[in-house]
Amino acid sequence: MSRKTSGPDQLCTKTEVQLALTPEQDGMPWPVEKFLHELQVPSAELEIQNEELRHALAELEKSRDCYMDLYDFAPVGYLTLTSEALIAEVNLTGATLLGIERKELLLRHFTHFIADDYSNHWNHFFLSVLQRDERQDCELVLQRSNGPLFSCPSGLLT
């Protein structure tokens, strides 16, 4: 059984053979200046696009950092919930209100913080939020980790 290999060396050799068989134009197999220009133009275009992308990335990172600061240091508590009501994100004020470190809140079920008397109200409200694509508001009573209850107006947007 014969084994066919086609590595970079073999490809280079095939290319050299094919170029040697190509009829010459003005003593050269191809116009080098034109070939060089054809390579330089896309290369320059790619460098310009790369620089534009780097600039856009820097602007996006700056904007993201600004909004992260606004979210994290807002004077009200913000929580981002998954469709299963797990806490995906929480700002510093939200963590302080609930009395638990931010990292310990992540992926905890939000219903653990709802006062027993409001659990049915929350369930109906959250189901409605998931079904409609509009802002909805409700008032909840939440329970801190150390026990005390507090009233909390809630607004959710899907």
What's the confidence (pLDDT) of residue 148? 78
Q: Is residue 67 part of a domain?
A: no
Per-residue pLDDT tens digits for 19-68: 566 555 555 566 777 788 788 888 889 999 999 999 999 999 999 999 99
Q: Which amino acid is at 76?
A: V
Q: How far is CA 65 from the centre of its chain?
A: 13
Torsion of CA 20, 21, 25, 28, to 10 degrees: 0
The mean pLDDT of the chain is 83
What's the confidence (pLDDT) of residue 101? 95
Q: Is residue 4 part of a domain?
A: no
In order of 81, 91, 107, 144, the CA distances from 100 in angstroms are: 16, 11, 13, 8
Higher-confidence residue of 101 and 26: namely: 101
With 50 as the cut, is the pLDDT of residue 100 above it? yes
* d(C-alpha 158, C-alpha 151), whole Å: 22
C-alpha Rg value of the chain to the nearest Å: 31
Domain count, the chain: 1
CB 95 within 8 A of CB 101: yes
Could you list the residue range(s) of the whole structural domain that residue 108 is in?
73-156
Q: Is residue 15 part of a domain?
A: no
Per-residue pLDDT tens digits for 128-151: 988 987 888 888 899 888 877 888
Q: Is residue 24 part of a domain?
A: no
Q: Is residue 31 part of a domain?
A: no
Q: Is residue 102 part of a domain?
A: yes
Q: Is residue 25 part of a domain?
A: no
Q: Is residue 93 part of a domain?
A: yes
Terminal-to-terminal C-alpha distance of the chain:
64
Check which CATH number belongs to the domain holding 106 and give it. 3.30.450.20
With 70 as the cut, is the pLDDT of residue 1 above it? no
